Structure 1
Amino acid sequence: MTITFPRQLPASFASQQSFDLMRVDYESPEAGGRTGAVQAGFPRWLASWTVARTSHVKSDEVEAFVTSMRGRQRVLMAGDVRRPYPLAHIQGFRRMTVGSAPFTGACGGWSQTIDDAGNAMLTLTGVPAGLRLSWIDYVGFRWTAAGSPAGANDRRALVRVVEPGKANPAGVIVVAVEPALPLWIPAGAVAHLDKPMCLMRLTQETKIAPVDRKQRITGSVISAGSLLLP
């Protein structure tokens, strides 16, 4: 079977997860007693997953996946395992519709504004009336890179909901998110709520544990950091 990249992280193998934003901030004291601060670069998602005491088949799958990444050479796709769907709809969007069409998770449209306090406010349209987004839910964005086959959806971005919202009867919902989306994400990118993920590379903290007597790599740690590609 041909392997295509970015490759999705295997499912249902982790006993623990860390998934959060890393920001690089520099501070400098000022003469008046204030502290000035500036952020360097764009925030990155950093994640780690600890391999559970699972079957040896799943253990083999995870180890083979790590091997296929060739260290940090190749790109994977992953998201927060707590939120494959929004918390209020954690089993998916069955029986939810937009008009007469089933809602699959793909929003009809999106836009971002920055309010006076510097908060990124994300507006999603074309969602079911009454849809809820809660704290720590995610919105994913997918699009196809120039030169890639049509429909490849090989580019991804991810934002986290930090202030919840509920869709109005017109199917519009506004939520505060972090991080703000960079301006170069194409307007044609699809905002979606089903299995939101970002592109990542493994980091040097990835460690495969010794194989136990049941042929498992329990306790191995898979670590990765996000990247944004146009």
Structure 2
Amino acid sequence: MAITFPRPMLPYGLNVQSFELDRIDYLSPTVGAGIGAVSAGSPLWSASWSLAGMRENEMEEWRAWLTSLRGPQRSFFGGDQRRRVPRAYRTTGLPSGFNGDATAWSLNNDRDVLTISLPNGFALLTGDYVGFRWGTHGRTKVRLLEARVGTAAVAVEPPLPTLVPGNAIAYVKDPVCVMKLTPDTDFGSIGVDGQMAGRIVAIQDLRS
């Protein structure tokens, strides 16, 4: 079977992770001693995952997965492995009959306050994610800065990029973004117990 890209991540072997926004910001002091600031480009999701405790077959699957990406040349779908569903549903799963897709969504003019239509009473907590998908490969996500129940609008970061079309689907199950490996990725050390360890480091590839 042909491999297509972006590839999904494998569902095992991941241990410690970091999933945060990477910003390029510059301070702009003023004559009156105030401090202004400006960002260079859109914030991007930056992530790292450690790999440990895998059996040989699992190690070889991860080795093949990483090799197929050809370093930073090819992309994959990366996400926060601790928030594959909203935090309130981590143990129970999503409500019966709900696949995670919103029926509608809208933004304020600054694109950093989100209103989203989900099942009645559905809870989103601080730190949860809403993903957006469009076309074949378009994927990005935002993080909630406050809790929400019902139809209340909530602040999110980063502001949703303007490249996301208005007909994109907002969703809360397995939200991901398109990412590429960085040279900090290191995989292949094998312990005396035969277990392989390594680290995957990636940055978002934000494109339509």
1:227 aligns with 2:185: no
**Residues 138/121 of structure 1: CA separation in 2 closer, same or farther (3 Å cut):** same
TM-score of the pair, normalised by structure 1: 0.85
The offset of 1:66, in angstroms, is 0.7
In structure 1, the gaps of 5 or more residues are: 96-101, 145-152
Q: Which amino acid aligns with 1:123?
A: T
Q: 1:89 matched to which residue of 2?
A: 89
Contact 2:52/2:195, CA 8 A, preserved across alignment: no
Name 1:136's counterpart in structure 2. 127
Q: Give 1:121's aligned amino acid.
A: V
Which position in structure 2 is the counterpart of 1:68? 68
Q: Deviations over 1:154-211 (max 9, x none)?
A: 11011001111001xxxx3422110011122111110000100000000011011422
Say which of 194, 199, 208 aligns to 2:173. Answer: 194
Check conservation: 2:133, 2:139, Cα contact below 8 A. yes
Q: Secondary structure at the match of 2:179?
A: strand
C-alpha contact 2:5 2:74 (8 A) present in aligned 1: yes
Shift of 1:213: 3.9
Q: Distance in 2 between matches of 1:76 and 1:165?
A: 30
The one-letter code of the counterpart of 1:163 is E
Query: What is the aligned-residue identity percentage?
Result: 39
Shift in Å, 1:216:
3.0
In structure 2, list runs of 5 or more residues that go unmatched. none
Q: Any idea what SS the aligned residue of 2:113 has?
A: strand
- 1:23-77 CA distance string (max 9 Å, x none): 1101132221112211110000000000021222222111111100001100100
Normalised TM-score (structure 2): 0.94
CA drift at 1:227: 1.6
Question: Which of 149, 154, 158 is equivalent to 1:166?
Answer: 149
Two-structure CA RMSD over aligned residues (Å): 1.5
Asked if structure 2 preserves the Cα contact closer than 8 Å seen for 1:93 and 1:103, the reply is yes
Letter in 2 for 1:224: A
Identify the range of structure 1 (19-28 vs 207-216) with the bigger mean alpha-carbon deviation: 207-216
Deviations 1:106-165 (A, max 9, x none): 000111114xxx68110111x111101011100001111xxxxxxxx3110110011110
Partner SS, residue 159 of structure 1: strand
Secondary structure at the aligned position of 2:40 is classed as strand
| Aligned pairs, number | 207
Question: Amino acid of the residue matched to residue 106 of structure 1?
Answer: D
Q: Secondary structure at the match of 1:47?
A: strand
Q: Does the CA contact (< 8 Å) of 1:56 and 1:214 recur in 2?
A: no
Q: Distance in 1 between matches of 2:93 and 2:171?
A: 12
Q: From 98, 112, 115, give the equivalent of 2:107.
A: 112
Report if the CA contact (8 A) 1:69-1:75 is conserved: yes
State the AA in 2 paired with 1:104: N
Kept in 1, the 8 Å contact 2:163–2:207? The answer is no
